[in-house]
Structure 1
């Protein structure tokens, strides 16, 4: 992970689908004279587009957002040709979810119940090129992350899905039809149907209800918080 350096203001984008949460985070960050909030996004796709346009130092992402969730948005932001780092906020105290976020390149994973105390610390850690994790989950992750990456036959279902399958799965859970998903992802409804069938095969279910149940249980997608 690259360091952001020590000079100048730390430029931040806040992404959360709740306006009141964005305003609260902005107020918290703007109390620190080292930080400048340069933009806000209401969903994951908008966060990716703003990150590409504004090239901030940090993007703060909620884990559960429309269009792209925090895991998917992290992957897309880290694929940009920028030095932007990502910090993800979540209510989920689950090691597998944090592992997915970190595997996609995030510099931090914070539980929302401790954001007020930890967010500035996480931003400063990212500036130094370090990873910051909420203490409640850091021990579990650090004890297991790297060993699990090397295991054969990992039980992490997310590793079995392609990036496109993750996108289709998120939109299925959000209630979109094949035609609507096709329009949003610029693919044909027939291709969406093929992805849907592949997802049901990989997740071991026979219908969309089962697909949604497994996706939510395994933390492959997230309902609005």
Structure 2
């Protein structure tokens, strides 16, 4: 009898109850082994070399480094690892961001238990997986060419480092704290902050915070 492959899964979500729920669901699959759990993107990146997961089930909105930025780093540094995005957001923008970052699948958090298991098996085989909860209208909007421009600021106008700074600003970190976290000078942080405001045409912190929450970079919860 041919031996079945064990799928090593790492769970990344900032809510323990969600992580434990995912673990319980996947523990019922004899082919899946949960190799670890983390609560933010930066910790996730440090754990990948040690835990060597095949699949990462990742929340999009996590503190410190969100799932979209973490997915970009994983695609660049660990291209064999498959990312399955998990989110409450089902709009075109979040789907587009995750797949462009390198995700292989996108699930809504109220998906069925079996759909989560199916998604893990699909992405580990290199297939794309999209939650059945996502409406055909959203899929059409995602596939439709973006040939009409408007004045709405979009998150992809920012560089990866600017998105990191924006998330940390929105989470209440000071310039000094951000410089420590990112190992850059305070002057560099201030330059990023100015560039963010200029590109988005948002010139006050409450507006930046609202934008970051709307874009799924962070949640309304305090740091």
TM-score normalised by structure 2 residue count? 0.89
State whether residues 11 and 38 of structure 2, in contact with CA within 8 Å, keep that contact through their aligned partners in structure 1: yes
Alpha-carbon spacing, 1:158–1:34, altered in 2? closer, same or farther (3 Å): same
Alpha-carbon spacing, 1:41–1:131, altered in 2? closer, same or farther (3 Å): same
Measured in 1, the distance between the counterparts of 2:166 and 2:216 equals 8
Residue 49 of structure 2: which of 49, 52, 59 is its match? 52
State whether residues 12 and 57 of structure 2, in contact with CA within 8 Å, keep that contact through their aligned partners in structure 1: yes
Find the counterpart in structure 2 of residue 88 from structure 1: 85
TM-score normalised by structure 1 residue count? 0.89
Measured in 1, the distance between the counterparts of 2:181 and 2:131 equals 34
Find the counterpart in structure 2 of residue 222 from structure 1: 218
Measured in 2, the distance between the counterparts of 1:95 and 1:117 equals 24
Measured in 2, the distance between the counterparts of 1:45 and 1:26 equals 21
State whether residues 99 and 141 of structure 1, in contact with CA within 8 Å, keep that contact through their aligned partners in structure 2: no
State whether residues 203 and 214 of structure 1, in contact with CA within 8 Å, keep that contact through their aligned partners in structure 2: no
5 Å-filtered alignment, 1:103-142, equals: 103-137=100-134, 139-142=136-139
Find the counterpart in structure 2 of residue 65 from structure 1: 62
Which segments of 5 or more consecutive residues in structure 1 lack a partner in the other structure? 1-5
C-alpha displacement of 1:82: 4.4
What is the CA RMSD across the aligned residues, in angstroms? 2.1
Measured in 1, the distance between the counterparts of 2:41 and 2:135 equals 25
Measured in 1, the distance between the counterparts of 2:216 and 2:199 equals 13
Find the counterpart in structure 2 of residue 3 from structure 1: none
5 Å-filtered alignment, 1:162-201, equals: 162-201=159-198
Residue 14 of structure 1: which of 7, 11, 14 is its match? 11
Measured in 2, the distance between the counterparts of 1:209 and 1:224 equals 12
Aligned pairs, number? 218
Alpha-carbon spacing, 1:190–1:213, altered in 2? closer, same or farther (3 Å): same
